[in-house]
Amino acid sequence: SGVITLDPGYKNSGSCKSEITFLDGELGILRYRGYSIEELADKGHFLEVSYLLIFGELPSTKELEQFETDIRKYTLVNEEMKNIIDGFPKTAHPMGVLSALTSALTAFNPKSVNVDNEKEMYEAVCKTMGKFLVIATWTYRKSMGFPLNYYDNTKGYVENFMRLMFALPTGPYTPDPVIISAIDKLFILHADHEQNCSTSTVRMVGSSHAGLFASISAGVSALWGPLHGGANQAVLEMLEEIHTSGADTETYLAKAKDKNDPFRLMGFGHRVYKNFDPRAKIIKKAADEVLATLGVEDPILEIAKKLEKAALEDEYFKARNLYPNVDFYSGIIYRALGIPTDMFTVMFAIGRLPGWIAQWKEMRENKEPIGRPRQIYTGHPLRDFKSSDKR
């Protein structure tokens, strides 16, 4: 009833009240539960930041240990899930496989659909944190034809990510601590971003009281698109293309500005940030540091810097407040760390997981109504049905 306000893409509509993430697009401010992203990325660890997002406060040493222990309880994935993985072609995109496997978790954990009390909520949270990490890495193992790895209970969460991804049966594997800490930082930077497309999807699906796995699976699908998380893969492919073709960055800028060309400068622009994306600032600095520490010289980084500079000086980009976003430099670090390009968006998903969980939990705890936007109908008025011989 009443007047319906049309707002395509929800550019000006608030969908909920939230205590989780504060974002000021004009000033380039991002805070999780009141803590600045700069400080969290500098001093925090991914699991404690996850705890902060999900439960509202930074954990004490004891609380953090308990959280890690409880996550570990759920890092075994049902063996039958492997049959599902085997059914995919090796060439399948890991994001598609991840979405399907996350949804399949519902079949093996039917109880996790109901969260009627705090205990069940806590269990659902730990289960998702545990199992999602393992299946996310399995999508890569599958694509490589490598045997699947298991979580090592004596190691930390992010170190386990590396082991699950890269350890081979042929010998011992000790991931470089520099790489572990870089990945930890990247996960923190991706951990939440208020009502973005995938998070809104998770809340929307969850608002029908679909379970956490089903909601997260939908979030993975939303994240996959190149306008959202899929941009990190698209950025690197674009930079590689510039490198191999030897094209001028100007050619790409011209393409991005051409309204008859669907091409957009990947990793540029943001719905909310109109001055700069604070995550991009941190990642750009981290890219320099990580490459220097690992002794990696990547011509792609130079191309990215050149492209960024040219875009920032360009009238079209200036007039539209288009700045590099989180996805612009993250792929360069991932590449230096040995993460394959088609796993970049999966990295984003692992990082975003605590944010999705926190938002889903908040939505359930606030007893939000089912998400159900309205529309303005622009189709035919009433007309009569004619049998097919008269059409």
Tell me if residue 327 is catalytic: yes
Q: How far is the CB of 269 from ligand CMC (least distance, A)?
A: 2
Angle ∠(154,155,161) on CA atoms, nearest 5 = 140
Sheet order of strands, 21-24 included: 21-24, 29-32, 35-36
Judged by CB, which is closer to ligand CMC: 313, or 365? 313
Q: How far is the CB of 222 from ligand CMC (least distance, A)?
A: 10
Residues 58 and 365: beta-carbon distance below 8 Å: no
Cα 173 from chain centroid? 27
Angle ∠(144,146,152) on CA atoms, nearest 5 = 125
Judged by CB, which is closer to ligand CMC: 71, or 231? 231
Q: Which residue is nearest to ligand CMC (CB)?
A: 269
Q: Which of residues 173-212 bind ligand CMC (CB under 6 A)?
A: 196
Single out the residue of 40, 322, 350, 358 in contact with ligand CMC (rule: CB under 6 A).
322
How many residues make contact with ligand CMC (CB under 6 A)?
20
Cα 15 from chain centroid? 20
d(CA 332, CA 305): 11
d(CA 287, CA 275): 21
Ranges of beta strands (E only) in 267-344 are none
Judged by CB, which is closer to ligand CMC: 211, or 230? 230
Site string for ligand CMC, 327-346 (x = CB under 6 A): x-------------------
Q: What is the rounded end-to-end Cα distance, in angstroms, of the chain?
A: 36
d(CA 168, CA 342): 20
Q: Which of residues 218-277 bind ligand CMC (CB under 6 A)?
A: 227-229, 231, 256, 264-271
Establish if 318 lies at the interface with ligand CMC (CB under 6 A). Answer: no
Site string for ligand CMC, 350-389 (x = CB under 6 A): ----------------------------------------
Q: Which residues contact 91 (CB under 8 A, 6 or more apart)?
A: 143
Single out the residue of 112, 325, 330, 359 in contact with ligand CMC (rule: CB under 6 A).
325
Which spans of this chain sit near ligand CMC (rule: CB under 6 A)?
9, 196, 227-229, 231, 256, 264-271, 320, 322, 325-327
| Active site members | 270, 327
